[in-house]
Amino acid sequence: MLAVREAHGDVVRINLWPVLPPIYLMMGKEANRGVLSELDQSLEQVLQDLINLLPVSANIPSEVDVELQKKVASLFQSVATVNERLPSFIMIAERIRDSWLENHGETQQRPLNVFFELSEFVLRADLEILYGPTFCAKYADRILPEFQRWVGELGQLGATPVGFFTQLGELLREALRERQKHPERYVGERSVMQIYLQEGALDAHDEAGVVGLLTMTLMAAVFNTQVSLAWILAHLYAEPELLATARTELRRCADLAQYSNLVQLSFVNSCIDEAVRLHTMLPGNTVLRRATQELVFDGLPIPKGSLLWLYPNAVHRDETYFPRAASFCPYRLLKEGWGLNGGVSLSMDGCLEPVAAACNAAGAGSGMCPVLGGMAGAVVADGGSFIPAASPAGAPVAATEAQSPLRRMSDEYELVTFGHGTKRCIGEKMARAMICAFLGTVLPAVDAKVAATGLPKDDNLFDLIPASKLELHDLRPHRNDR
């Protein structure tokens, strides 16, 4: 893609007519700003239409129910809902952790396929979030083998999700009919399925349409979280200094079952942002919109009905904004004011490591970034100029949250890891909670290594393929020296 940009510029027209309408591939900061903000009111999402083209046994209504989606967004963004699910996330993670140590421990030689093994955690957690605890308890064991079969075949010729989505559709129909028959059993349940029924989705759509909508929510939820978590584990076990920093921070977390504690895990959350920047397909590789009227971008007329394919990774992998952009360095995305070590004041820039004091507080010790190398630095908030890691008085220069360079990067559309504005990912809180709960359960208890040949190269437009090749070796219980 970057070669395409170098050869043809930031906007490339792809003509596949009459199979598809005109497609405009858009790259760069101004493209991010245009699609995610300035042109947003004249664009509509097309994910539902695209999923109907896939072999997923779902019939998704093409018209978006805005009010229904607002209700769903409110559910996902509710801290009370996240806290309600966290004990279950931890319980599932504990079971998987114990299984890893038992089946891939010191006496076992075969590697652990990280992406495949995470499929149980992510699927069970998402089934509970989307369809409710009762659905998960009743159906998860039945549907998991078909899901894992599909995940295990990723990258192979002929791999297809048909079996999984056919079975999921049958189970969703059964569950919907049960809820209609006995609504009193589900009063007060926080789930997407329950919201759909309470808001009259079956009055607005037939059963097939509601099943399609529920299927789409699972497709949107599962793989981004699974890909991000797999790469975080692989990167941390590949870099002992990063692993030690994450463990130090997680040990200080008083209670993983409280979201208010998880948002204070600044280093772990920066690992999430950095993994999404580097590895996930949505939104990194693909943001699709359809023009609802004729548009003009950068002097180029775009006809009504055209598809706009935004490629945010053109910026996320641009050395101008992220030096050594292909390297995993969570320090570059530490967030100002997250309160490391009881409130150390930080000043960060997306392309620089944290100031030395912050490095030490997080447990890195030397103020050296183990991935990018070199002493950490700070950026003056008002001018953006680089200064040494410490001021003449030996203290780091701090910026306010509103002035932080990381906020500037988001405001200027250099960093759009979870989308932007009104189209920002509604599942961000839940995804962060799932990942933090898993890391907090597994990292302090499990030691592992990556393959001697290193991590696989992530150069595939479809992020599932390289993620499916991630392996951990020599799994064993972690001996805490402290």
Give the mean pLDDT of 64-86.
Answer: 92
Token pair recorded at residue 25: 């591939």
Q: Whose structure tokens read 């002035």?
A: 403
Q: What is the pTM of this model?
A: 0.87
CA dihedral for 100, 106, 112, 114, sign (positive or negative): positive
Beta bridge partners, 443, equal: none
Is 416 within 8 Å of 410 (Cβ atoms)?
Answer: yes
DSSP 266-280: HHHHHHHHHHHHHH-
Amino acid 419: pLDDT: 86
Is 62 within 8 Å of 346 (Cβ atoms)?
Answer: no
- Confidence band, pLDDT 50/70/90 cuts, at residue 108: low
Amino acid 52: pLDDT: 57
Which residue in 397, 370, 466, 482 sits closest to 115, CA to CA?
466
Give the type of residue at 78: S
Over the stretch 302-325, which tens digit does the pLDDT of each residue have? 999 999 999 999 999 999 999 999
- Confidence band, pLDDT 50/70/90 cuts, at residue 158: confident
Amino acid 67: pLDDT: 87
Over the stretch 176-200, which tens digit does the pLDDT of each residue have? 999 999 999 999 999 999 999 999 9
Q: How much is the mean pLDDT over the chain?
A: 83
What's the rounded Cα separation, in Å, for the pair 305 and 324? Answer: 38
What's the rounded Cα separation, in Å, for the pair 151 and 119? Answer: 8
- Confidence band, pLDDT 50/70/90 cuts, at residue 358: very low
User: Pairing between strand 386-387 and 112-113?
Assistant: unpaired
Which residue in 138, 144, 142 sits closest to 123, CA to CA?
144
Amino acid 343: pLDDT: 36
CB burial class (10 A; 0-12, 13-18, 19+) of residue 16?
exposed
- Confidence band, pLDDT 50/70/90 cuts, at residue 35: very high
Is 357 within 8 Å of 344 (Cβ atoms)?
Answer: yes
